[in-house]
Structure 1
Amino acid sequence: MNQILTGKFIAQKRKEKNLTQEQLAEKIGVSNKTVSKWETGKCMPDYSVIELLCKELNTTLPELMNGEEDEKSIHTYDNEQIVEMLKEIQDLKRSKSLFIGFVLIIMGVVMIVLSQVFRDTSIQNFLSGFLLGLSIAEFLAGLFFLARFVARKE
């Protein structure tokens, strides 16, 4: 599955139907910027709209994912199975973001505690400050990952 090939295929099928990006976007309930991102290969269609996209472009899901029409190919998966697999992949990506966010927050808290332990000499003060700065960065990165998780969930 190549995002750029898939994007070019979406653009080709859209043009064959004489649709603008805006018209296609309106038919499937997304923004024209989203369609543009698909066509440039910056992202893939979400599993929630992929079946409707295939219907509007008169193509099959395997053809869309491969980025080319292939009448000879034998498709071992039906559309429902492929959509379910795409949904599971996106759920795994969300879970990964959630896990990374929690790990970074926990590491940030541990670093804050360690920074308070090293505070007696000048070298230890330097190390304490470094650990404190690192902990704040990790904590903020963790919050960022959690915010991305929540934003994707909605």
Structure 2
Amino acid sequence: MTQEQLAEKLHVSNKTVSKWETGKSMPDYQTINPLCHELKITIHELLEGKADEGSHSYNNESQVMDLLTRIQTLENQKNLLLGLMLTITGILFFVMSNFIHGSAVRDFISGVLVGIAVGESLIGVYIMAQNIYKNLS
């Protein structure tokens, strides 16, 4: 089966499948069961990268899926927190910039703080929006 055929069956891009194959990323926890079904392997075989020899086979794959779901949830929460922290820091820099003015140097520092504030806030909002969009799809 080609990457493109597998991608079509799993409703992902062939670039995503390529990243899985090269080890640059792992499948999303919601994709693991369908992926294992398509490849006719167990979750353990997928995670280990080799066929089971029978001695270390997981009997309860629902526990593995539960663990993967928890990991994904924690990662989503981490990304959301990062975005929130960047946005708040950006707002704080903006507030600080309002207290610094009076001379050319202070005005320059104030302008730099405003630039950093805008940049951090935009990055924070982007990270949060990307995380929310990812959770909705």
Aligned residue in 2 for 1:59: 41
Deviations 1:80-110 (A, max 9, x none): 1111111111111111111111111111111
RMSD: 1.8
TM-score (norm 1): 0.78
Q: Are the equivalent residues in 2 in contact too, given 1:97–1:145 (CA < 8 A)?
A: yes
AA partner of residue 64 (structure 1):
L
Q: Are the equivalent residues in 1 in contact too, given 2:87–2:124 (CA < 8 A)?
A: yes
In 1, the alpha carbon distance for the partners of 2:129 and 2:119 equals 15
Aligned residue in 2 for 1:69: 51
Q: How many aligned positions are there?
A: 136
In 2, the alpha carbon distance for the partners of 1:81 and 1:92 equals 17
1:110 aligns with 2:92: yes
1:130 aligns with 2:135: no
In the superposition, relative to structure 1, how do residues 29 and 122 fare at CA in structure 2: closer, same or farther (>3 Å)? Answer: closer
In 2, the alpha carbon distance for the partners of 1:76 and 1:22 equals 30
In 2, the alpha carbon distance for the partners of 1:120 and 1:73 equals 74
TM-score (norm 2): 0.87
Q: Are the equivalent residues in 2 in contact too, given 1:97–1:148 (CA < 8 A)?
A: no
With CA pairs under 8 Å and 6+ residues apart, which has the higher RCO, 1 or 2? 1
Which one is further off, 69-78 or 143-152? Answer: 69-78
In the superposition, relative to structure 1, how do residues 134 and 30 fare at CA in structure 2: closer, same or farther (>3 Å)? Answer: closer
1:81 aligns with 2:63: yes
- Identity among equivalent positions (%) equals 43
3-state DSSP class of the match of 2:52? coil
Given candidates 7, 13, 17, the residue that maps to 1:35 is 17
Structure 1: gaps spanning 5 or more residues: 1-18
Q: Are the equivalent residues in 1 in contact too, given 2:44–2:58 (CA < 8 A)?
A: no
In 2, the alpha carbon distance for the partners of 1:96 and 1:139 equals 17
In 2, the alpha carbon distance for the partners of 1:112 and 1:32 equals 42
Q: Are the equivalent residues in 1 in contact too, given 2:84–2:124 (CA < 8 A)?
A: yes
In the superposition, relative to structure 1, how do residues 114 and 46 fare at CA in structure 2: closer, same or farther (>3 Å)? Answer: same
In 2, the alpha carbon distance for the partners of 1:129 and 1:30 equals 44
Given candidates 16, 25, 45, the residue that maps to 2:27 is 45
In 2, the alpha carbon distance for the partners of 1:74 and 1:142 equals 43
Aligned residue in 2 for 1:9: none
